[in-house]
Amino acid sequence: MSKSQPDMMLSLLAVGSFIGPILLAVVVIVLGFLQPGYNHITQLMSELGEAGAPNGVIMNIATAILGISILLFAFSLLYELAKGTALKIGFILTLVAGICMIGGGIFLCDPGCVPVSFQGTIHHTVSMIGFPAIIFAPFALSQQFKSSRLWQNYRIYSILTGVFTAILVPIYLSEIFKDWNGGIQRVMLGMLLVWMEVISIKVFCISTGRTPKA
């Protein structure tokens, strides 16, 4: 049986959601290897795209594409899930995170990601807005998952993702662990993006009929 147009649209949204996180992971690993002296544990990912970085354009394009994937992810959930207050909150939070990620790719961080210039300040600001938004999104969506038979098994996973990420935030901000900021940032963002990938796979399976809607 051929797919209906709405199902095809959902499939495209799910695939688009899936691309950004994988691309960013590959780009960060490769550019970190190519950039002399770069340390994944001590340095932030944005430093690969900072002003004057040798391959900064590639990093910033990957960051912007991740932002687009997050936007597509937000719309895929809005498209698939039953409407409710929790979904609206989760959608808005994810939308904000995607927009901020795109902004982070457009406005470069200053060397060392210490905001000095106008664009460095914008980069820092959108990061401070976008990261909390995507951390709280799993909490909101977990409430929406509770009311759906298809999504109930993803509720606890979503809550745990939000909890463990939130626990790492004060550690990341602490001066005590400053020399570990790069590694902590990767763990935090990694958990959130893996969660996004898992949810996107579920959406794709629903859209293609691999997971029946009823």
Q: Is the pLDDT of residue 85 over 80?
A: yes
Tokens of 91: 């959608």
What pLDDT is recorded for position 35? Answer: 92
The helix/strand/coil state of 208 is: coil
SS3 readout for 8-68: HHHHHHHHHHHHHHHHHHHHHHHHHHHCCCCCCCCCCHHHHHCCCCCCHHHHHHHHHHHHH
DSSP state for residue 149 in the 8-state scheme: T
CB 63 within 8 A of CB 24: yes
- Give residue-wise pLDDT tens across range 107-120: 999 998 889 999 99
- Give residue-wise pLDDT tens across range 33-71: 999 999 999 999 999 999 889 999 999 999 999 999 999
CA–CA separation, 121 and 187 (whole Å): 24
pTM of the model: 0.91
* Least reliable range by pLDDT among 6-10, 75-79, 94-98: 6-10
CA–CA separation, 157 and 32 (whole Å): 30
Percent of residues in the chain assigned helix, strand, coil, to nearest 5? 80, 0, 20
- Give residue 48's region: left, alpha or beta (phi > 0; psi -120 to 50): alpha
Q: Is the pLDDT of residue 29 over 90?
A: yes
Max mean pLDDT among 25-39, 71-85, 145-159 falls in 25-39
* Per-chain mean pLDDT for the chain: 91
Burial class from Cβ neighbours inside 10 Å (0-12, 13-18, 19+) for residue 183 reads middle
